[in-house]
Amino acid sequence: MLNVIIAVVVIILLTIGIVWLIDKFVPKKLKPVINLLLWALIIFLGYLTFMSVYEEIQFNQLKKKRFAVAIDRLIDIRDSQLVYKEVNGEYTDSFDNLIKFIDTAKVPITQRRDTLVLDEEATRRFQGVETFKTITLIDTLSYFSVKDSLFKGSDRYKKMMNVGVGEEGAKFTLKAGKLDEFPVFEASVEKSVILNDQEPYLVEKEKQVVSVDGVNGPTLKVGSMEEVFTKGNWPKSYTNKE
């Protein structure tokens, strides 16, 4: 877009220069008509310049609103996956499994405590002299519902697989596996899906973003299949959930 703006500004300056030349060298009878046409051209080019800037401003505002919707759902997916792993020791690549888990799972609330017990082996070794050792016991105090803990009465988790904006019916891609024996997961959606009805050149520009205050790359995602990482690729300004 910057190239377009520069080109339009150059044309406007050239047109103003032509107006000045006409004023100096063109016969007086033709001046009013030519001047009128040239000023009309200047106004038209100015309008194009304004609209090109305004269009990008509108695009950025819409992008942030749509990204915020998708990010909130990605955070729900991430939080659900973390609890799923805590109980099952791994992540899942199935939204059906994740939703079923949230509906039914109860996670124990535990307490660790140290206690002294007789060390029979050491006692025998010391010919009957009682010897004690410290062991750690884990007591289960109660259980909490995953659904109530994470979503506090809301059933929005049943729709967290849906992107919710952009392309109608679009869903997040969910992957899970292991990386060097460590469980990993990734939930993602292409930016072009979220911005499917916007100008292609603006979408393409957005896909190439590399910025500390932007969503870098062509996708919006949380987690990673290439490193042990459970955060999203968006800056904090895009959501108030973190």
Tens of pLDDT along the chain (242 residues) come to: 555 556 666 666 776 776 666 666 666 676 677 667 767 777 777 776 666 677 888 899 999 999 999 999 999 999 999 999 988 999 999 999 999 999 987 766 556 767 777 778 877 877 777 777 777 766 655 566 788 888 887 999 999 999 999 999 999 999 999 998 899 999 999 999 999 999 998 999 999 988 888 899 999 999 999 999 999 999 988 887 76
Residues 107, 41, single domain; the answer is no
Q: Where are the alpha helices (DSSP H) in 105-227?
A: 120-125, 146-151, 191-194, 200-207
Q: How far apart are CA 96 and CA 99, in angstroms?
A: 5
Residues 39, 96, single domain; the answer is no
Residues 48, 124, single domain; the answer is no
Tally of domains within the chain = 2
Residues 133, 17, single domain; the answer is no
pTM: 0.71
Give Cα separations from 123 to 118, 127, 136, 159 (angstroms): 8, 6, 20, 60
Residues 70, 44, single domain; the answer is no
Q: For residue 166, give the amino acid letter.
A: G
Residues 165, 230, single domain; the answer is yes
* Residues ≥6 apart with Cβ < 8 Å to 106: 143, 144, 145, 146
Residues 171, 221, single domain; the answer is yes
Residues 127, 211, single domain; the answer is yes
Last residue of a domain, one of 34, 56, 78: 56
Range of the domain at 23: 2-56
Residues 107, 19, single domain; the answer is no
What is residue 53's three-state secondary structure? helix
Residues 61, 23, single domain; the answer is no
Residues 49, 67, single domain; the answer is no
Residues 158, 223, single domain; the answer is yes
Q: Which two tokens stand for residue 191?
A: 């930016």
